[in-house]
Amino acid sequence: MTREEKHDACGDHAAEGCDDEGPEPLNLADLRAGVAESPDDVELRADLARRLFRSLCRGRIAGEPDRRWERVQELKRMTLSFPEDEVVRGCLVMGLFNSFVDFHADGDTARREACLEEIRSLHAIHPEDQLAGRHLAMALLNGTTYAHQAEDFDRREALLDELRALPGIFPSDEEIRWCAGQALLNSAADAEEKGDLETRDARMAEIRALTEMGDAPAD
């Protein structure tokens, strides 16, 4: 099982009419020009980031791999320009995850892996950012499944090792624990199929530990 449902909104400003150059409240050209003219306008910057992200959810851009990639790069440039802007960074990390899923569906392994590496980088730079950690966990869970399907078992185990570390960083995040538990369950099922009962039992013990972590009272 994977975590492939994509995000379809970005904060309270999400709208149904989100095609690339939609007129409400401003089209992309106007938003870009506004941010270039007033880079300290936080609201305008957020509107641009949200519009860019929404174009990766549905509409023309989402269905065109090259333009999708260009849009991800535009969000990345915004994040580099405004590294402490949590709205811009959030739109980038969600857009990267959506694109990670879409590039896998396209068979574009290079861009899929580039998206994963960008999510890793965001988590490394902002280790306290729960949204980045959560999307890294979701991407790693999917990655373990993709590696299993490709019979690249060394890669699957490496991704699982990376994923199992995240609940310790974000012990209260149910989504991250779910992703780690699901990857461990997939691994346990595979071990049982191969008759490797020792590995199966070790994975199940880890799942029980994750469950206990979720049951522990918050500090």
For residue 48, give every residue at least 6 positions away whose Cβ sits within 8 Å of its Cβ, in sequence order, or none: 28, 31, 32, 34, 35, 78
Nearest to 175 by CA among 186, 164, 183, 167: 167
CA dihedral sign of residues 179, 182, 184, 187 = negative
Does the pLDDT at position 22 exceed 80? no
In whole angstroms, give the CA distance from residue 164 to residue 180.
Answer: 6
**Domain assignments of the chain as residue spans, ordered by start:** 26-126, 137-219
Over range 52-70, report the average pLDDT. 90
pLDDT of residue 11: 37
Average pLDDT, the chain: 88
Q: Which residue has the higher pLDDT, 207 or 14?
A: 207
pLDDT of 10 above 50: no
Least confident window among 22-31, 94-103, 122-131, 164-173 = 22-31
165-174 pLDDT, tens digit per residue, is 999 999 999 9
From 54-63, 75-84, 161-170, 172-181, the region with the lowest mean pLDDT: 54-63
Residues 43 and 12: their CA atoms lie apart, in Å, by: 13
pLDDT for 198 equals 96
Q: Is the pLDDT of residue 138 over 50?
A: yes
Q: Is the pLDDT of residue 28 over 80?
A: yes
